[in-house]
Structure 1
Amino acid sequence: MKMEIRPLLMCFALCVVYATSKPTEKKDRVQHDALLSSKEHDDGTNFDYDHDAFLGEEEAKTFDDLTPEESKNRLGKIVDKIDADEDGFVTEAELKAWIKKAQKKYIYDNVERQWKDFDMNNDGMISWDEYKNVTYGTYLDDPESDDGYNYKQMMARDERRFTMADGNGDHIADKEEFTAFLHPEEYEHMKDIVVLETMEDIDKNGDGFIDLEEYIGDMYNHEDEMDEPGWVATEREQFSEFRDKNKDGKMDKEETMDWILPADYDHAEAEAKHLVYESDTNKVSRH
């Protein structure tokens, strides 16, 4: 579906105008997409949600002090970037890709902050040796030290993940590969490593599965309170009714993946469809 850029720009300009007008906690292993906005999605009242979804919440704040005309000019430049094929139209796919980029901005910002710490020779790449030396340098100087951490095991685990993220197998990561290493939950080809690491963390008896007590034990420390909080009983039911799909009393790799990496509702796609519909003023869309 395509729509002309000008109506889309006008829609977002309108968004900007409106936008300026302890119980025991459990550990959550489930990987969720970042929210498009913390605001309520109610276009009948304002367009704050759409504004944040389109720009990202932090970027959206920079528009607060701009006049409508300044906002329109700035948004025009952004919309030109969205139109990847430069055909004068914005497709749902282009808009979805842009929203996802805004949604994941915190990830890319995190990678940028860490990049200079590991790229020791400033060649625009990060080798495994660079990462290893920065992260485990003290341990490598004195591998016999005993301060309560198993650095050898941690380093082996990091190297395994680094190798998985390193697409061409040269043990050197470019920006995208390093992002996959730091945030494997965001990449399809890294999902197996996310599941494997999760299972290794929770599977205390080393049998390659997660049983009920291991599942609960990962979320709740039984020694913290005399009585279990109500959510613990709910989680026991969740395990039996939904997590353990084949009812064998434990979760295997596939069941664990369904738990921590669920096929969530695609908020970016839904928002892209919504914005195209609202912006397509004559409701004549191109495919």
Structure 2
Amino acid sequence: MEYRSSIKRLVVLFCFVCLIAYGNGDNEHEKIKVKTHHDEPEEKHYLKDGQHNPDYDAEMFLGRDRATLFKELPEKEVQERLRSLLHQVDTDHDKIISEREMEQWLRKIDNDRLANDAKVVFEEMDDDKSKSIDFKEISKHTFGDTVDEDIAKSEEFSKYVDRERRKFALADIDNSESLSFDEFVTYQHPERHQHLSDVVVTDVLNEIDKNNDGYVEFSEMIGDSGNSDGKEDDWIKNEKKEFAKYDKDGDQKLSTSELKEWVIPDRKYIDEEVQHLLEGADTDHDGRLTIREALAHQNLLAGSKLTDYGNLNILREEL
């Protein structure tokens, strides 16, 4: 069954969906290509059959490029590199990785991922190689040199450009009318910056709140995705449960603050991954990892299918 989710609908909206239209010469509605600025790795966390994806753990702990490299290295070299990496995670050098150290490490890896992805886009958009990007350059690379006249005159397109300009201005901290690389990262990921996250929530609210009462009701959340016969599919039941989790006061609608908690992820997936890694590798269940425990669970942290023989070698060599 096709997976439909009001959460995904929110994410698309809150990512400032980019509408790029291209005509096909007939009377059909314009086709829309969606380009999102928000990129969280949660979709990779579980395989299609619901099983945990080991590659997700490796990418979260090692970083995308290092995880790819580790797949190509001999087992022995993976062991040595993981050992060296664990000592970087262990910032107080007590040979124990605390929950806080693990969280700080995963956030660093995640920040590096965002910066690396943004760098590729930044360099592509920086036409004059000035190491800054103005709104004209962003528009050119977002919409192309020309926009279909009918699309350019549409209310939806106008609303999109207006909110992108507003987002651009808020990200332009030094008011230079161009974005440095750091400012561009803020522009791409407004949900991660307090002075922009409120704008994200406001735009989502304005898009979904059809009766303009300042709240989001469940029917507004799912839009026209519900069944016309009144029957509830499993996905609707699941969405109702999810909706209820954020409806703190139980008034059957989401206020701005409740909506913000839903659409602004605050990288909760990192906290979840910290707990997953600790639970998977913390042999003595003391809430932290010794270097020995971490190395003995190389398959979890590095995505490597380590043999029992390899485990024994690690434990003999460590300490």
TM-score range, shorter chain: 0.5 to 0.7
Stretches of structure 2 that go unaligned for 5 or more consecutive residues are 12-38, 283-287, 294-319
Q: How many residues are treated as equivalent by the alignment?
A: 250
Task: Find 1:277's aligned residue among 289, 304, 308.
Answer: 289
TM-score of the two chains, using structure 2 as the length reference? 0.60
- Give the Cα–Cα distance (whole angstroms) in 2 for the partners of residues 168 and 91 of structure 1: 39
Q: Which residue of 2 aligns with 1:6?
A: none
Task: Find 1:183's aligned residue among 178, 189, 207.
Answer: 189
- Give the Cα–Cα distance (whole angstroms) in 2 for the partners of residues 89 and 194 of structure 1: 42
Q: Which residue of 1 aligns with 2:167?
A: 161
Contact map agreement 1:100 1:268 (CA 8 A) in 2: no
Q: Which residue of 1 aligns with 2:234?
A: 230
Q: Which residue of 2 aligns with 1:257?
A: 260
Per-residue CA deviation, residues 251-276 of structure 1 (Å, 9 max, x unaligned), is 22111112223663713554479686
Deviation, structure 1 residue 190: 3.0
Q: For the structure 1 residues 54 and 250, does the alpha-carbon distance in structure 2 shift closer, same or farther, using more than 3 Å as the test?
A: closer
- Whether 1:98 and 2:102 are equivalent positions in the alignment is no
Question: Matched residues, percent identical?
Answer: 24
- Give the Cα–Cα distance (whole angstroms) in 2 for the partners of residues 227 and 37 of structure 1: 31
Stretches of structure 1 that go unaligned for 5 or more consecutive residues are 1-21, 282-287
Contact map agreement 1:108 1:179 (CA 8 A) in 2: yes
Deviation, structure 1 residue 120: 1.5
Contact map agreement 1:99 1:272 (CA 8 A) in 2: no
Deviation, structure 1 residue 158: 0.5
- Whether 1:138 and 2:146 are equivalent positions in the alignment is yes
- Give the Cα–Cα distance (whole angstroms) in 1 for the partners of residues 218 and 58 of structure 2: 43
- Give the Cα–Cα distance (whole angstroms) in 1 for the partners of residues 158 and 260 of structure 2: 27
Per-residue CA deviation, residues 116-137 of structure 1 (Å, 9 max, x unaligned), is 2321211111122321343344
- Whether 1:267 and 2:242 are equivalent positions in the alignment is no
- Give the Cα–Cα distance (whole angstroms) in 1 for the partners of residues 261 and 204 of structure 2: 12
Aligned partner letter, 1:279? I
- Give the Cα–Cα distance (whole angstroms) in 1 for the partners of residues 187 and 232 of structure 2: 37
Aligned partner letter, 1:26? S
TM-score of the two chains, using structure 1 as the length reference? 0.65
Per-residue CA deviation, residues 169-222 of structure 1 (Å, 9 max, x unaligned), is 33322222212222223334432122122212211233332123212317x254
Contact map agreement 1:23 1:229 (CA 8 A) in 2: no
Q: Which residue of 1 aligns with 2:67?
A: 60
Per-residue CA deviation, residues 15-70 of structure 1 (Å, 9 max, x unaligned), is xxxxxxx155223246696359659789xxxx977644421355323223323453
Task: Find 1:215's aligned residue among 197, 211, 221.
Answer: 221
- Give the Cα–Cα distance (whole angstroms) in 2 for the partners of residues 48 and 128 of structure 1: 37
Contact map agreement 2:89 2:101 (CA 8 A) in 1: yes
